[in-house]
A and B are shown apart, each in its own frame.
Chain A
């Protein structure tokens, strides 16, 4: 079956829906999503979305941009960061006008609170004076992502967007550097549809499921990144993967930084507020990469608490904040602690551990969301990407909290605008039914396989080894081992067989296809990490503990090759107004 649309958006989280809302009515627009839009992972974001509104205290977009550059450990492209932080103020006001419910300050404006790595100079006349935490995160209790996702879904309904919910994208159609559409499988029937389109935007989210402990939903299998990678296009900076410091112990469920923004503190086994040693000025509100390293270091040096299953954790204590504040501002996350760990946060500290959270890397784009086909910056005509699956790069080596929701709405809109402009003089490229052949071959191979390898066994081995060998701390030996493991898993994945031979809602088939995507994501991540002989942001090499600005102020571009090794190329970082400095907090 062939369906034809001017625009096809793959993914119905914040970025995809924001882009869809931006497409003018005269163009036909379809949104394909492997889950119903309100199930998208954007909904789990909690603590807020940053913009220098200055509703609580003086602030400026320049402060926000400086923090984002420094937070990125100077790997973020400063031109794109400027675009995002300048536009943030308009973007948040726009969300409010769209109907997003926000918590409010005394004047009835959008309320803001502190968040990790967001600061302003103590002396407003001296940008290089000591920087102190600033209230910049706009929030709706601790359900900011949920209400943002719902607001954007509501506005898509208002704009009469056509949804193909529970459709799984299986192929990206590109010929001679021009995008022709995508192929997707209707999960309810296993039928393949060729979506012919003048333009395609990927907003497929992250890949946290390649790690054992993750805050990511089960949908986070890096599908869009894998499709792009398999189409011969590069993935950028995949080695930079953020571990959020405070995941619920064992489960990895996110406990928002808002808990620390509101005054929560981290404690080790002796009750010491250990962040004072690692970040004397901002303490518990240091950026995520630093706090995650601090927690693992505390645990390694024997100051963690040993849990019933033999794994270790530290404490996040909010009990001193009082029940009233907790119930008003942190209801959801304290509910998780009660439900899943049986802990009462108003009385006792919450056991937490770092959890795989966010891919800074992804599909390389420019600031108009056009996908790059190489490190020279040439673009693929008609192909766009936005949100976590994309790498603009505004997050560099480490994303600041709240900048992900901001990224979705700023670049989702920019992608939509760029597409609207492109459509003024774009044509359909010819496609026929045979465009689905490649997908059909892959699906048939899984359906007919008698190989005996099990999806869950391979997936668990991938997740365990990635966590151990390519997690918060990495070294050459471990990464070498991970490369070998990955090669073995890749080989065995060809013999995966499934029990469900039906066509109706075959989620086992879906699991097999997602496993392939996860392996592709892991490959680009591990090889990028192996090659990068330095420590920067979330990529920490124990054997190369220093940042190396002479050799590594550059983005990794990983191209999939038919051999088991991707080809790595590099693109220089864009530096405008902020020269790299030592990163202290």
Chain B
């Protein structure tokens, strides 16, 4: 079968504005990933088409992009799950500066990730010859948040991010959850102070876009709600 795409193009060395370019790719089948279609264009039709990609099965988080209006990973989306009767629209992740075509500048995303101190803080010496103990139940409380692959699909799907560039965004705050709820961590209050600000957890207006965008099916809004409850009920 054939498939048509409208891809947002932008080359800063040539273009003053981004524009859509139409492509028709022939001989595809409905079990192709959208990434396979992009590869077909890049390697057989137009070598200048630019996007990030690596593992091609939804683990590395490189190929987040806006596909038919929704943030997705191009490698985790098959053609059969898209309406191929009309052109598929492919754009870069919204709200981050475009470097070229579908490649966006991720630096502000990583800067916000670093703000929440994304590492275990525990100043009590661990047992000399063994692990810190944790029940499997407690461990599993972290697993959903620890699934995050930092693809930025959630943060760039959030209207609060679009209107406020200082907002920490769901990905960074989900990382904060992963440590605040880790029984081994001792810096929960420190992290909650970071979130307890107008550009932190309170700028989450429970819009649920992040859940729809998350390719790992993490219920991000639920996690952020837990943080809101915990922060608003803590003793100061």
Contacts and interface: CB of A to CB of B under 8 A. Distances in A.
Interface of A: 35-36, 38-41, 43-44, 93, 96-99, 101-111, 140-141, 143, 146-147, 150, 154-155, 157-158, 188, 217-219, 251, 253, 332, 336, 339-342, 454-456, 498-500, 502-508, 511
Interface in B114-164: 114, 118-120, 122, 126, 129-136, 138-140, 142-143, 146-147, 149-150
Task: Give the secondary structure class of B's interface.
Answer: loop
Given A140-B143, A147-B146, A188-B99, A111 B182 contact: no
Contacts of A104: 133-136, 138-139
B50 to A, nearest CB: 5
B60 interface: yes
A475 to B, nearest CB: 31
B43 A108 contact: no
A454 B43 contact: yes
B35 to A, nearest CB: 10
A104 B135 CA distance: 6
Given A44-B55, A101-B142, A500-B48, A39 B136 contact: no
A508 B146 contact: no
A217 B55 contact: yes
A41 B131 CA distance: 26
B39 to A, nearest CB: 8
B131 A96 contact: yes
A101 B139 CA distance: 7
Interface in B44-100: 44, 46-48, 50-62, 76, 78, 99-100
A109 B131 contact: yes
A158 B149 CA distance: 19
A110 B133 CA distance: 8
B184 interface: yes
Given A99-B122, A99-B182, A499-B47, 20 more contacts: A35-B54, A35-B60, A35-B62, A38-B61, A41-B54, A43-B55, A44-B59, A96-B132, A97-B132, A99-B119, A107-B133, A109-B130, A143-B147, A188-B99, A217-B54, A217-B55, A455-B47, A498-B47, A507-B42, A507-B50
A456 B43 contact: yes
A305 B176 CA distance: 47
A93 B120 CA distance: 14
B18 interface: no
A505 B103 contact: yes
| B60, B106, B182 pick with most chain A CB within 10 angstroms | B60
Interface string B156-196: 00000000000000000000000100101100000000000
B17 interface: no
B23 to A, nearest CB: 14
Contacts of A342: 31
Contact of B135 (A108, A143, A339, A508): A108
Contact of A504 (B11, B57, B140): B11
Among A99, A253, A502, find the residue whose CB has the most chain B CB atoms closer than 10 A: A99
A107 B131 CA distance: 11
Given A456-B44, A508-B47, A502 B11 contact: yes
Nearest to B106: A36
A103 B149 CA distance: 19
A502 B13 contact: yes
B48 A102 contact: no
A502 B60 contact: no
Contacts of A38: 60-61, 149-150
Nearest to B101: A505
B51 to A, nearest CB: 8
Contact of B119 (A44, A102, A155, A499): A155
Given A38-B60, A157-B119, A498-B47, A505 B100 contact: yes
Nearest to B44: A456
A9 B4 CA distance: 43
B129 to A, nearest CB: 8
Interface of B: 11-14, 31, 33, 42-44, 46-48, 50-62, 76, 78, 99-100, 103, 106, 110, 114, 118-120, 122, 126, 129-136, 138-140, 142-143, 146-147, 149-150, 179, 182, 184-185
A35 B106 CA distance: 12
Nearest to A92: B131
Contacts of A141: 143
A256 to B, nearest CB: 12
Contacts of A103: 136, 139-140
B133 A504 contact: no
9 closest A-B pairs (Cβ-Cβ)? A99-B120, A456-B43, A108-B133, A499-B47, A154-B119, A104-B136, A217-B55, A96-B131, A158-B119
A368 to B, nearest CB: 25
B54 A340 contact: no
Contacts of B126: 97
Contact of B78 (A39, A109, A158, A340): A340
A60 to B, nearest CB: 15
A504 B99 contact: yes
B120 A98 contact: yes
B118 A251 contact: no
A158 B54 CA distance: 26
Nearest to B54: A217
A341 B57 CA distance: 12
Nearest to B117: A158
A154 B118 contact: yes
Contacts of B142: 101
A511 B139 CA distance: 41
Contacts of B78: 339-340
A448 to B, nearest CB: 15
B40 to A, nearest CB: 9
Contacts of B110: 36
Nearest to A339: B76
B112 to A, nearest CB: 13
A103 B184 CA distance: 14
A157 B114 contact: yes
Nearest to B215: A339
Contacts of B51: 507
Contact of A99 (B42, B46, B184): B184
A43 B42 contact: no
B53 A218 contact: yes
A502 B139 CA distance: 48
6 contacts: A99-B184, A104-B134, A154-B119, A154-B120, A217-B60, A218-B54
